[in-house]
């Protein structure tokens, strides 16, 4: 009898331990709803019920590689940035937000931010960009032609910038409109001193016509 009592006592203790684990892990309630005022983490993976990653928010130390159809491909070069990675329903990357900013031991600034939106299984079709250094600061919007993912020829697979809107190296601003081969054909310019100009260019990049406030025609 004493052995039976000992067995039953042990079983009761184990049952109590299992009940505590169930309570702590939420096994009885798979759809838990928690409220926090603040959390501190290195990375957050937002996933679908089937485990497909859809959004990753990460520090640079834990920033992910490239995702393609549910598989992660190593990208050690991405460990310079913290940010977010967008992933579509099939588990393929389709854009993201990355940012960094620091001063190196040599005193040089390394700073930048990029928000991108990709075409399906392809590269960025839209980018909002800002980079900064001691000699130049660039901010702009880039709109690109991205080929359909099933095209296979090297010519068709080339990404080409079609529209660039941003500042210039000489502290002016410009809107550049480009043809299907990525060649600038029209530019709207405003120089740092306020002078405005419209330029039309030929296929070689030579100005074929320029319109300014002083133009006669």
58-96 pLDDT, tens digit each: 999 999 999 999 999 999 888 899 999 999 999 999 999
Confidence of residue 153 (pLDDT cuts 50, 70, 90): confident
Kindly state whether residues 81 and 152 are assigned to the same domain: yes
Tokens of 77: 């070069």
- Overall residue count recorded for the chain in this entry: 217
Kindly state whether residues 19 and 58 are assigned to the same domain: no
Residue 17 covered by a domain:
yes
Residue 200 covered by a domain:
no
Least confident of 70-74, 112-116, 213-217: 213-217
Kindly state whether residues 107 and 46 are assigned to the same domain: yes
Kindly state whether residues 58 and 124 are assigned to the same domain: yes
- Between 36 and 18, the more confident residue is 36
Residue 202 covered by a domain:
no
Kindly state whether residues 40 and 137 are assigned to the same domain: yes
- Reply yes or no on whether the pLDDT at 16 is more than 70: no
What is the reported pLDDT for 188?
97
- Reply yes or no on whether the pLDDT at 28 is more than 80: no
Confidence of residue 14 (pLDDT cuts 50, 70, 90): low
Kindly state whether residues 106 and 45 are assigned to the same domain: yes
Query: How much helix, strand and coil, in percent to the nearest 5, is found in the chain?
Result: 15, 45, 40
Residue 185 covered by a domain:
no
Residue 69 covered by a domain:
yes
Kindly state whether residues 100 and 17 are assigned to the same domain: no
The number of domains in the chain is 2
Residue 110 covered by a domain:
yes
What is the reported pLDDT for 60?
94
Kindly state whether residues 130 and 156 are assigned to the same domain: yes
Tokens of 163: 């529209």
Distance of alpha carbon 52 from alpha carbon 30, whole angstroms: 17
Q: What is the pTM of this model?
A: 0.80
User: Average pLDDT in the 114-121 region?
Assistant: 96
**Domain ranges, residue 5:** 1-35
Kindly state whether residues 110 and 21 are assigned to the same domain: no
Kindly state whether residues 132 and 45 are assigned to the same domain: yes
Residue from 190, 147, 144, 184 nearest 167 by CA: 190
Kindly state whether residues 26 and 109 are assigned to the same domain: no
Kindly state whether residues 125 and 162 are assigned to the same domain: yes
- Reply yes or no on whether the pLDDT at 12 is more than 90: no
Least confident of 24-28, 104-108, 193-197, 203-207: 24-28
Confidence of residue 103 (pLDDT cuts 50, 70, 90): very high
Question: Residue 19 is inside which H or E element, if any?
Answer: helix 2-25
CA angle 31, 34, 37 (to 5 degrees): 160
């Amino acid at each position: 009898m004493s052995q039976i009592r000992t067995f039953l006592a042990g079983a009761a203790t184990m049952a109590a331990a299992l009940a505590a684990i169930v309570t702590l892990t939420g096994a009885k309630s798979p759809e838990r709803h928690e409220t926090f005022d603040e959390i501190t983490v290195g990375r957050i993976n937002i996933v679908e019920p089937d485990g497909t990653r859809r959004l990753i928010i990460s520090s640079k130390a834990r920033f992910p590689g490239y995702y393609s159809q549910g598989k992660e491909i190593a990208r050690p070069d991405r460990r310079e940035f913290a940010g977010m990675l967008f992933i579509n329903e099939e588990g393929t990357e389709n854009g993201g937000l990355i940012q960094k900013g620091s001063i190196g031991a040599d005193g040089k600034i390394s700073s930048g931010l990029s928000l991108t939106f990709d075409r399906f299984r392809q590269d960025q079709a839209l980018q909002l960009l800002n980079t900064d250094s001691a000699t130049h600061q660039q901010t702009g919007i880039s709109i690109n032609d991205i080929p359909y993912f099933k095209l296979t020829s090297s010519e068709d697979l080339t990404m080409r910038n079609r529209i660039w809107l941003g500042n210039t190296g000489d502290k002016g601003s410009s809107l550049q409109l480009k043809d299907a081969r990525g060649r600038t054909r029209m530019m709207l310019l405003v120089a740092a001193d306020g002078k405005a100009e419209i330029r039309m260019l030929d296929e070689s990049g030579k100005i074929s016509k320029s319109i300014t406030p002083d133009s006669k025609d």
